[in-house]
Structure 1
């Protein structure tokens, strides 16, 4: 199968870095989504415009802009939104947006790609989650709050597991990944930049390299599993919960 790669959320952060990385390889044809009505200027990527993963028609709009004969080898859904909250100030609209973006939209993207024949046997679907979605790894020292962010990632993990069961008979592998704690505008916007150094945060380019290497080895034997391609280094509770001497990549608990 030709290396046709779709990156949902390709204009910034990890998605932009993945697009740049994959498009360097001449054998790859990279499709990237943007919420803008105008294509981005990156000529090496074929842009799908006006794509918002939080909208009900996201799957139809993606399919309508892909050539009907396209067979996608890899789909990576990186789109995300982080709205800061606390117990004293929960935010209904932020939570709805986080759940919709993280855990509702991907179902409709994958559904429409499969039904249109764009995802086939040996295709891979990678859903970008977060270690914050692991209930097992959540430690009392980290406290509560940020309900929508953490719980929407837990919901995404369940979505990925369910999709893996639906798609395994078709030979389509579905993986969940914690790409790493990243130095992005999203983490900065919620004040997490103060933890970048102590938390081992990496650039999106670094996270993209390790994620792409993991995707290369990911196959149907790992479908439905939750992994940290960069290992335990930036997961503050990993050793306390899982023990010392943890491997890289690291399979994460739900």
Structure 2
């Protein structure tokens, strides 16, 4: 029975992933900032009191796993503080970088040092680590039509992409694969909270369970050591508003789609 860790599992994509893996009878561990959510799937084992923006979060997660080695780690925790050039927000920017780009280093480091990541022989894949990024972190997809602003939302995801690339190099000797993903533009509290719900229909936004289904399928069927350190949109370009301007007609782009850095 595979052991799966979902960091940020109380709502949205994280919860839908945790529920999906639990329903197929994997051994699932989910982290929560406070307590487990009401009516959570009964087969999810919760590690509570985890704020990934805190330095000790990785150590707490490692202790909560009680020695169980992991087949899959998905770090979904995120924070989106909306800002503009006229009104940048220093506190929100720091929190976005801490959550998106700093936390994964310390979580993965703690899991590795505790011996909770599975290594593998050459040609095989040990633990798979998926860092949930966003197409917003792609410099190559930025286009003048969308304007500027939301500096740390974009830049913290770009920083996460670099973190994932570097982790892939450090963990390659153990055949631990690290992937960066844009899971899709989602209809969540987070996107609604910054006013992006007005773009849901035109932007092709999907529900978290739809995004979880396509991401889990990609992890199972496509992601292995041959793709470690790379950046993908498992659902393709359908919900990436700048894709045509920067990459060409969407109908000519493959699914899954490897994204430009």
TM-score, L = length of structure 2: 0.94
Of 164, 170, 173, 1:166 maps to 170
1:249 aligns with 256
Deviation at 1:38, TM superposition (A): 5.8
1:114 aligns with 112
Q: Distance in 1 between matches of 2:19 and 2:64?
A: 21
Deviation at 1:242, TM superposition (A): 1.1
2:123 aligns with none
The answer on whether the counterparts of 2:10 and 2:37 sit within 8 Å (CA) in structure 1 is no
The answer on whether the counterparts of 1:7 and 1:31 sit within 8 Å (CA) in structure 2 is yes
1:226 aligns with 231
Q: Distance in 2 between matches of 1:40 and 1:65?
A: 20
Of 166, 175, 192, 1:188 maps to 192
Deviations 1:42-83 (A, max 9, x none): 321000010011001011100111121x11000000000000
Deviation at 1:187, TM superposition (A): 0.2
2:128 aligns with 124
Q: What is the correspondence of 1:2-13 to structure 2 with a 5 Å cutoff?
A: 2-13=1-12
The answer on whether the counterparts of 1:39 and 1:48 sit within 8 Å (CA) in structure 2 is no
Q: Distance in 2 between matches of 1:7 and 1:103?
A: 17
2:65 aligns with 66
Q: What is the correspondence of 1:67-216 to structure 2 with a 5 Å cutoff?
A: 67-68=66-67, 70-121=68-119, 122-216=126-220
Q: Distance in 2 between matches of 1:209 and 1:38?
A: 22
Q: Distance in 1 between matches of 2:43 and 2:104?
A: 25
Ranges in structure 1 where 5+ consecutive residues have no aligned partner? none
Ranges in structure 2 where 5+ consecutive residues have no aligned partner? 120-125
The answer on whether the counterparts of 1:200 and 1:234 sit within 8 Å (CA) in structure 2 is yes
Deviation at 1:243, TM superposition (A): 1.5
Runs of at least 4 residues off by over 4 Å: 37-41
What secondary structure does 2:206 align onto? coil
CA gap of 1:162–1:40, structure 2 versus 1, over 3 A, is farther
Deviation at 1:132, TM superposition (A): 0.3
Q: Distance in 2 between matches of 1:133 and 1:228?
A: 12
Deviations 1:177-220 (A, max 9, x none): 00000000000000000000000000000000000001112101
The answer on whether the counterparts of 2:10 and 2:36 sit within 8 Å (CA) in structure 1 is no
Q: Distance in 1 between matches of 2:24 and 2:134?
A: 27
The answer on whether the counterparts of 1:23 and 1:29 sit within 8 Å (CA) in structure 2 is yes
Deviation at 1:20, TM superposition (A): 1.0
What secondary structure does 1:102 align onto? helix
Deviation at 1:41, TM superposition (A): 4.8
